[in-house]
Amino acid sequence: MLFNSYAFIFGFLPIVLLGFLWLAGVSHFLAAGWLTLASLLFYGWWNPAYVGLLLGSIVFNFMIGVAIGRDAGRGQRRRARWLLTAGVAGDLALLGYYKYAGFFLRNLDALAGTQYAGLDIVLPLGISFFTFTQIAYLADAYQGKAREYRFVHYALFVTYFPHLIAGPILHHGEMMPQFALASTYRLRWENISVGLTIFLIGLFKKTVLADGLAEYVEPVFSAHATATRLPMLDAWGGALAYTFQLYFDFSGYSDMAIGLSRLFNVRLPLNFHSPYKAVNIVDFWRRWHMTLSRFLRDYLYIPLGGNRKGKARRYLNLMVTMLLGGLWHGASWTFVAWGGLHGLYLLVNHAWRAMPARRGRARRGPTGLGITFARLLTFLAVVVAWVFFRAETFGSALYVLEGMAGMNGLVLPYRWLEKWGVVGEWLAARGVEFQNLPTFGGGGQINFLVIAWLIAWALPNTQQWLRAYRPALNVPQEVRPLARRWQWRPTVPWTAIGVIAGASAILCISGFTAFIYFQF
């Protein structure tokens, strides 16, 4: 079931919310159980057969976690460590089979000339997210940070439908205290108002912005397969369209998840914080998929040694972390290349910041022009990496990058020749080509990209609009918060804006447009 579907908005959500609030007046346990069952129904809507897989994973990790907590509490650290190893190994084996077995067999076929890749394995939705969530739980249980012996609450923690399919990746300590609060099980109109507002903002980002940009993406990234010429304008148009499509798709999902959870009086951790405003690649990863960055740092980078074993080891740890982070996103060498590029970006970024001359400039603080240049450079590096993230094959990625580099020339839309008059004739006389372009949307696409760029760079994000209501956990403190008159409040003007945005978003719902991060 999709957040951006009529069945969810007008059927599932109101029934689940009303049932939760009614049962909460009878028993908190029944309300939590109702929400757990509803979350399983939400997951099973896609494929009921995989509900058993999800439940099996939950039971396995709950039993291992309880045993780890018991042994760690009794001082039996060695036994607890073996249980932790067994639990993580079991989780990774499940993830490895469903997500990477086909990838491994395809590469084995290519190397050895075998034919094992015919194995047809359907990737369960959200398996990466609920697996990583439970690995974090096991690690927290070993460290004494998690003590959960109520199966219903643990099952709710894992299956909670606002986060189940595409994150955020939750920590036990963030969620379980909220499920235990009596205030969570009461109707709170402020949370209803805040939650609906955030949900509708996210829905607008998805159905109006992300889905609107999608039509400019596919022709460019399928050009290699169809042998379609991809000049510079076409290639950049497609790459930028995907850059902003992914931005608003993931930002929209993140907002919708936070808004939905707020309806149930529960705050999720922030997962997306204006990443295209980042001034370097380190800053980008503090803003993009923040809970994944946290997981990779806490459970991979630091255990590998972090920055505690010298500069060379630190760089190696960074690269390994980003390569595995890329592979987490998908079983394809293009995702590995994407992770490797970001690993290389991080190495360059850290090396640059470590230069003695840079330390002196950092103490003086950046200038306005310097910030703009740094933001633009970071953005362009991210755009190049997104080409590998989106492309189905290396050949397709390189084909788009060749076009972006101008290797296929610069071709302008033929209608611009007449529209520009004397200027168009002057350009044509000097060798500039004007043709009908099959993969470029002309002025309409340019206008859409400019609007998307202005929203991503110039406007406050959802968390800043609603800062006074603390919409999510772990929201970074702003150096210069918005003036009060620009912050959202439950007033008639702001309500009218929300209704207009929500109505536009609902009217733009069309067909089956899954969120991009559902595939991970």
Dihedral-angle region of residue 73 (phi above 0 means left; psi in -120 to 50 means alpha; beta otherwise): alpha
Both tokens assigned to 57: 């994973």
Given the structure tokens 């918060």, which residue do they identify? 481
Q: Please enumerate in sequence order all residues whose Cβ is within 8 A of that of 385, keeping only pairs 6 or more positions apart, or say none.
A: 338, 341, 342, 345
Rounded Cα distance, 89 and 95, in Å: 10
Rounded Cα distance, 157 and 129, in Å: 12
Rounded Cα distance, 91 and 93, in Å: 5
The dihedral over CA atoms of 491, 183, 130, 329, expressed in degrees to the nearest 10, equals 30
Rounded Cα distance, 453 and 344, in Å: 26
Both tokens assigned to 110: 């290519």
φ, ψ dihedrals at 464, nearest 5°: -75, -35
Contact 205, 251 (CB under 8 A): yes
Can you spell out the DSSP letters for 1-35?
Answer: --TTSHHIIIIIHHHHHHHHHHHHTT-HHHHHHHH
Whole-Å CA distances, 504 to 90, 206, 252, 303, 496: 45, 11, 14, 47, 12
Identify the CA nearest to 298 among candidates 176, 180, 173, 175: 173
Q: How far apart are the first and last CA of the chain?
A: 16
3-state DSSP call for residue 59? Answer: helix
Both tokens assigned to 246: 């992914």
- Which of 163, 172, 329, 342 is the catalytic position? 329
**Is 224 part of the annotated catalytic residue set?**
no
Both tokens assigned to 234: 């076409």
DSSP β-bridge partners for residue 272? 288
Identify the CA nearest to 386 among candidates 502, 255, 209, 243: 243
The secondary structure of 449-486, three-state, reads HHHHHHHHHHCCCHHHHCHHHCCCECCCCCCCCCCHHH
Contact 177, 56 (CB under 8 A): no
Residues marked as catalytic: 329
